[in-house]
Every structure is written in C-alpha cells, then in structure tokens.
Structure 1
Amino acid sequence: MIYGLPLVMNYAVFYDYFVNKGGSAFKAPPNQLYNTARVYTPADTTIVTPNSDTPYSFVAMDLRAEPFVVCNPQIEKSRYFSVQLVDFYTFNFGYMGSRASGNDPKCAMITGPEWKGTKPDGIDKVFQSGTDFAFALIRTQLFNSSDLENVKKIQSGYRAETLSAFLNQPTPPAAPPMDWPKIDKDTAKADPFAYLNFVLGLAPPVGPASVEIPMRDRFAKIGIEAGKPFDATVLSPSQKSAIELGMKSAMGKIKEKIANLGSEENGWRVAMHGFGDRAAYNGDYALRSAAALAGIYGNDAVEALYPILARTSDRKAPDTSANKYTLTFPAGQLPPANAFWSVTMYDAKTQLLIDNPINRYLVNSPMLPEMKKNADGSLTIYIQKDAPASDRASNWLPAPNGPAYIVMRIYWPKEAAMDGKWKPPVVQLVK
C-alpha cells in the first residue's frame, strides 16, 4: 500500500485525462498535446489541490517505440513557465522552463527506461523516464483575466511530437496497442493491487529502478507482480486478513507522514523534500505516498515551495464554518519568489477548489495592484466564508463552510524561502 498508492493514484489520473474519451475530464490521447486555456475551478476534480494560477498544458508520452520531444517557444522574460516531467512512479525526472532552462526556445528529448542512443541535433537536453509512459505538465503564468489571450498564443507555440516526426524521419514500428483497465474511485478502492500489477508492467526494474528487484520479489509472494492478474480468491483467509490490516496500517502511516511533512513554521508545514526524483526520495516510499496524497504532481522545492497551513493562532486546524481568520504579511515581507506567489483555498474534506460568489479561489502576487494595503504597508488577507466589509473585499479569500485546506505556493523561491530566513506568518483567529 505504501509503495503502490502513488502509482495507482497516477494511473487513475492518466486514465481520466488520456484514455477515457467519454469522460468529462478527458484531454487528449497519448502523444497529443492538450492546452487548457483557462485556470482550474471547482469543476476540475480529477487532481487534488490543483493550482488556479497557471493554465495547464498536458501531453502523455508513449515511450515504448521511440523517444518523444517537447519544445517551448520564445516567452517574454517577465512570464514564468515550467515543463514538469513525471513518470508513473510520480517521480519528477526533469524540468524545462524559466528556472531550469530559461525563456528562450528549447527542445528536450524524453526517452523510455531502456533507451540507449545519442542526442540528435536540435535537442538541448535528454531526460530518461523510469517508466514506459510518462507525461509533461506545462504551467504558463496568467497575470490576470485580460491576459488569457496572450497565454493562448504561448500555448499554441508549445510542440510535442515523436522523435521521428521531429527529425522528419520514417516512423519506427509501433508498439503493441494498450488494453487500459477502466478505473474509478470505487474500483481502485476495491482492487488496488490489480491496478498496481498493471502499472508495474510499464515500470521495468532497470537502471536506477533495479534497487526495487528484492522488494518486488517479496511482493510476488502474495501475487503482486508486474503485468500479472491479481487474484484475491487464491489467498487464504489469514492472508486476506493480513493484507487488509496492512492496508489500514499503511494508510495510517501515510497520514501521519503528511501531518509531519517538513518542519512547522508559524503553523505552516514547509517541506523542502516533499517532491522530487528517485534520488530525492532515497527509498522513502511513505514520503512518496504522503506527497501524492497531499498534492499529487507537486514540484521540486527549487521549482515551487508549498507551505501548507496546519494550525492557526489558536493551535487548531482552520475551520471557517464559524471562524474568521487573517493572514498579514508585514511590509517588505511578502513571500520571496523569483516568479510569483499565491495563497489558495480548498475544502479540507476533498482538497478541491470551492465554489464561492466571486469565483475567487486564491490571492496571488499579480493581484497586488488591486489589493488594499494597511497604513504601515503590510498586506492583510481576510479568510472567511462570508464577504467582509466593502473596504476589505479586494483582500477577501473566500473559504468553505467547514474545515479549510490552505496552500501557499512560492514559484521559483528565492534563497530566503529555501534557507528558512523568511517564514510564512501566523494565520490569526479573529475573536
């Protein structure tokens, strides 16, 4: 359970976005780029804790027959963008973008786990996925609603194609067609190990993944084996009971890991190592599961830092059903970002964005010109379910009628955020 949860969660997203053509969340089939020309809203429920700052672009890559190429156009220096490469383990195995490679046109080649070859002309960097399928998650900064047409133009300049198409060469023999098993929340909960077996078939234990061979050998003793069906009927009652108890215990350990992610700073949990590549996790599969459950597809800390509010000034978890809160950044002490920062509100029961009368799901730095500062130059955000007085409306972060899940994002954080010299301020309970 601890090992497999992120792989099954990822497959559920992959199926919704890239396989289930009749579903409301479907984007595009593998090897085809899809641009979402808007920010996410409460209607987007496939991924927990999605951002609402940057319109997303997606491409799922089938790397079995040949590598894939992703290119970005020229993007103005003032606009942040990133290309995050994620494999089926949920490891972040590579980056392009403002921080990683700059805003000039660049092309990267993504290969499968067993590919061996040389970098062709026109490719700036090669990234090797640990699994046969992977995807690129592209974030393009949106400054305000009137900026959307500019974002659409940038999105139209992203390129995603097979290596043979990029080089204008003959297409190699196609890989066998995939028989993707249908998945939803109910089937995933009822038969998680069948899905895990399927995904493991796309994740050969080669290269860095060879460290998993002894562990996978142990898994095989209870029927968890790459590409094989999982038949719970052959398990003895004692084995079934042991698996059920193990799953329950594992989920408890994962939730405990989430509650203790990183260090607590003024009531915020700040994790410098919550997301990353295989080396960053260093065999800590509980951390990988905790990261996926807290916010799957989170960035490496150097790309985006995610303080998560755990406790307010009364040392309790935030609940906006009856409480009001304020978050005040002293003058000159806004979150230190090379790109931008935001504070986003979610329903703690679902970790999804919430409906509200002004369709505002976050407060971010591009909104600063429209926000009201205090006489001393500080900035106060009003966190509550009902609209505040009119003179505070520009600084209102609408909240749910219940427990709240509040995430700060610091995109391309400055050193002061990374070394702890800057700390997120305490969220104050209004009495």
Structure 2
Amino acid sequence: MILSRKCFSLIAALPIFTASLPAYAEFTKDLKEARAIAEEAYIYGYPVVEMYKTLYVQAVDKNDSNFKADFNQIGNTSDVYTPKDTSFITPNSDTPYSFVWMDLRAEPIVLTLPKVESERYYSVQLIDIYTQNFAYLGTRTTGNDGGVYMVTGPNWQGEKPSNVSKVIRSESEIVYALYRTQLIDDSDIDNVRKIQSKYKVEMLSDYLNEAQPKKEPRIAWPKLTSDMSTTPAFFSYLDFMLDFAPTVSSEKDIKERLSKIGIGTDEDFSLSELSQDQLSALQDGMNDGRKKFATFKKDYIDNHKVTSGDFFGTREQLKNQYLYRYSGAALGIFGNSADEAMYLGYFIDSENKPLDASKNNYQLRFEKGSLPPAKAFWSLTMYDGENKFLVENKLNRYLINSPMLENLTKGEDGSVTLYIQKDSPGKNLESNWLPAPDHSFYGVLRLYIPEEVVLNGSWKRPLMTAVKQ
C-alpha cells in the first residue's frame, strides 16, 4: 500500500509509517465526469509522476545504478552521459551533471557556489514537484563569481542570514537542484571535477552552526512499478506527491475537481475501494489524455509551431497550461527555461516525414554566418527514437557542438554540413558525422543562453534533409 504524510499527525510517534488508514474520499458517481477528470488529472499530473521516477532511483533506491546521493546531499556525475545512463530521457552529454534532491520540510538548504572562469557556462536549475523551473543560479542569472543562496519550502518563516546572497522560495517541500557544468572538450574533464568538488550543500542549521530543528518523520517512498504510468496506479503516485505541495490560489478549481476522484484529499487514494467501472473510467481518461498529447505533438510540436520554450519555466511563464508542461516531461523532462537554453527538436525531415536512419541518410546544412546564435554554446545531440536515450556507436560520439567547430570540415563557401546517418559518410567527412541508430531517431539542438533572435523567432534553424542511401 502506498503510504503518505496524510497519516503523519496520527502516528507522529513512529519513526517510519507502516500502515495506512482505510478511510477514502467519496468517488463521484458520474462515470462520464470521472473519465473527464481522469484525463485532466493525467495531463496535470504526468510531470509529477515522471519526476517521482527520477527521485526514486537517484535519491531513494541505493541499489539502483542511477542512485546519486541521499536527500540534502550532492551527487556528481564526473563523466559525460553515455547510452548506459538511463535515469532520465533525452539527457545532454556536454554539461556533466550534479544532483541535489532536497527535503525542505524541516528547514531550508544553503547552496554555496564557487567562482568559475568567465568562459565556462554553469547553472543550477531549481525545480519543484510540478517540474516548474522556479529559479536559476549561475552564469546567466547570478554570474560566475559564485555566492551563497538559500532555498526554502513554502511554509518556512525566518530571517535571511546576513551573508546569504538571496533567499529562494519553492512551492513544494521537495525540490530538485540540477547542476550543469560545461565540458569544453574531452581533455577538460578534470577541470569540471574540480569545480564540482566545490559545490557545497548544507542544512541551514549546519551552515549557521546552530542546533538542528526537530526532524520530520521519515517518508515511506512507494516503490516504482512497471505500470505506474499506464494504469490507474498512476493516480496513487500523483496523490502521494501532491502531499508535498500546498494548493496555490490559481489551482483551487482543478484541485477541487481532482478531489472528486479521490486525488489530493485528506485521505490516501485507494484503488482497492474502486469498482471495475470506476477503474475503467480512470483508464479511459488516461487513454484520452495520451491521445490528446499525440494530436498536439503531431499538429504543433512536429511542425515547429511551438518550441521547448513553451514547455519549461515558472508557473507564471507556463500560465498553468498543463498540456505544455506534459509535453516537456514527455519529450525531455527537466528541460531548461527559454532564457537559459532553447531546445529545438528534430523529429521530421524537410518533407514532414519521420526520421529513420534505416531508410535514409540525412544532412543538416548551416550556411555561412547562420550557425546557432548562443551566448554560451550550442550542441546537436542524437537520441534513439525507441528508448529516448543516447545512441551507442563506434566513435562514442553522441553530439556535435560549437567547441568542436574548428575540427569540422567546412564547405568552400564557408557552410557547415552535418551528416546524420547510421554509417560513416567517409573518412574525409567523418568529423561532421553524428551517428544514428538503424531505426527511428530524433535530434535536439540546444542553445545555451540563446540570443534574442532565437527567443523572438527571427532566427530560423535549417531543416534536416533526407538523402537516399
């Protein structure tokens, strides 16, 4: 049974909860209404449940190969991502990550950042349980001189310590801090590790050398299951996670609707108390939500009518457009906000056909002077269309980026053509080859700290052109 903090006040003396009360909120008797609410809840909650999957493998399950560190401690990935890394989909491989999962129930956390050389990009992305990027630290926002920053939960009351640069408040008591430190080239990895070793994470009481506040009860994190995103089990995980975020004013209406199917109430969501008809209504609603996203992707994402900049950001930036937030989680969870980085996806070729390296080779041509405009750097990364991870290849090359420009072969007119295909284009062009799998694939062009011409849409990326094998 899934255990939540709804039992905390009743079993406060126990260090960890081992039972849940049987009470359950009344489920609406209107099955048509239940199906409609389930669709809305699925789209609303999909990013929350997807985030939980990463939380569990990175901070809870120490036997998982993707475990990084306990809560409120930092874990560093000292190497770039490879196809063996599967903790989340569509990872980038040119900024080694550091990870902090925060439990802010008892007290705030203090993050200390070192000074970093001006030519190197780095950032700390602060993400709440809805996958909203509520704040940033680093090159774009606070500069490369470092500093001391405090992250608090929604209910914290206290004074800012005098030597803390800024206090940042989260909507949720669980927060994910995702650090990115630019790797210039393969020989630069030791420099990245030195920077990572200077990232410091402390509870506020430790930072101030004061007594720790009373500890909150331990949380019994529900184990992951294979069907948690595809069956009504989904709603149990959503209900569990929503305990860690009080309702904000703009979501009172949707939270009230969700309560009609037992989500977000004072009691645990209980599948065992639902009839087969009620379970079917929930499943049908989830299926409706998936169809809605598929249509949206085909009509708007694949045709570039919307960009990643629409899918990631603060609550104010996203304007509670839950299908956009769903899209971000489905296509590349924990993506950056537009000001920090733009993600331009390549899913179809210039003739609107899906990318498939078993059928075609592809070329991406940047005319002279039309390379991606980014203040920090840009990269094009290859992903397997079947599992959304990086692609194994003999070159161990998962991307082509701006630091590699001097080694790329250029045309006589100054253009740069990238060859995206499963087989080598030949030794003389191999520097420009981005290996693809022998089936479907997609690419993501990332621009870190994009220029205004990217943000306002006046710069147009080139389309990927199919060439018969």
TM-score by length of 1: 0.95
Distance 2:265 2:111 in 1: 29
Report the CA distance between 1:187 and its aligned residue: 4.0
Distance 1:241 1:64 in 2: 36
Report the CA distance between 1:185 and its aligned residue: 3.2
1:197 is matched with 239
The residue type equivalent to 2:92 in the other structure is N
SS in 2 for 1:225: coil
Is it true that 1:355 corresponds to 2:392 in the alignment? yes
Kept after mapping to 1: 8 A contact 2:407/2:431: yes
1:284 is matched with 321
| Cα RMSD, aligned residues only | 1.6
The residue type equivalent to 2:150 in the other structure is M
SS in 1 for 2:292: helix
Structure 1 residues 225 and 398, CA gap change in structure 2 (3 angstroms): same
Distance 1:119 1:81 in 2: 25
2:311 is matched with 274
2:149 is matched with 108
The residue type equivalent to 2:382 in the other structure is M
Kept after mapping to 2: 8 A contact 1:200/1:227: no
Q: 1:58 aligns with which of 99, 108, 126?
A: 99
Structure 1 residues 269 and 213, CA gap change in structure 2 (3 angstroms): closer
Q: 2:220 aligns with which of 173, 176, 179?
A: 179
TM-score by length of 2: 0.88
2:331 is matched with 294
Is it true that 1:378 corresponds to 2:419 in the alignment? no
Report the CA distance between 1:273 and its aligned residue: 1.7
The residue type equivalent to 1:244 in the other structure is Q
Kept after mapping to 1: 8 A contact 2:384/2:390: yes
Kept after mapping to 2: 8 A contact 1:57/1:138: yes
Distance 2:302 2:436 in 1: 25
Query: Looking at both structures, which has the greater relative contact order when contacts are Cα pairs under 8 Å and sequence separation is at least 6?
Result: 2
Report the CA distance between 1:297 and its aligned residue: 0.2
1:232 is matched with 271
Kept after mapping to 1: 8 A contact 2:381/2:444: yes
List per-residue Cα deviations over 1:344-371 (Å, max 9, x = no partner).
1001121111111111001001111211
Q: 1:217 aligns with which of 248, 256, 279?
A: 256
Report the CA distance between 1:322 and its aligned residue: 2.2
Q: 2:359 aligns with which of 322, 336, 340?
A: 322
SS in 1 for 2:395: coil
Kept after mapping to 2: 8 A contact 1:269/1:310: no
The residue type equivalent to 1:166 in the other structure is Y
Structure 1 residues 255 and 228, CA gap change in structure 2 (3 angstroms): farther
Kept after mapping to 1: 8 A contact 2:59/2:71: yes
Report the CA distance between 1:304 and its aligned residue: 0.3
The residue type equivalent to 2:117 in the other structure is E
List per-residue Cα deviations over 1:68-124 (Å, max 9, x = no partner).
111210100000001000011111010001011100011211100111233211211
Distance 1:375 1:74 in 2: 42
Report the CA distance between 1:163 and its aligned residue: 1.1
Report the CA distance between 1:130 and its aligned residue: 1.0
Is it true that 1:305 corresponds to 2:342 in the alignment? yes
Structure 1 residues 430 and 263, CA gap change in structure 2 (3 angstroms): closer
Q: 1:252 aligns with which of 270, 283, 291?
A: 291
My pick for the range that moved more, 35-44 or 180-189, is 180-189
List per-residue Cα deviations over 1:209-245 (Å, max 9, x = no partner).
2332332222222222356332223223332222111
Q: Which has the larger radius of gyration?
A: 2
Kept after mapping to 1: 8 A contact 2:138/2:146: no
The residue type equivalent to 1:287 in the other structure is Y
1:81 is matched with 122
My pick for the range that moved more, 131-140 or 217-226, is 217-226
Aligned residues: 426
Gaps of 5+ in 2: 1-41
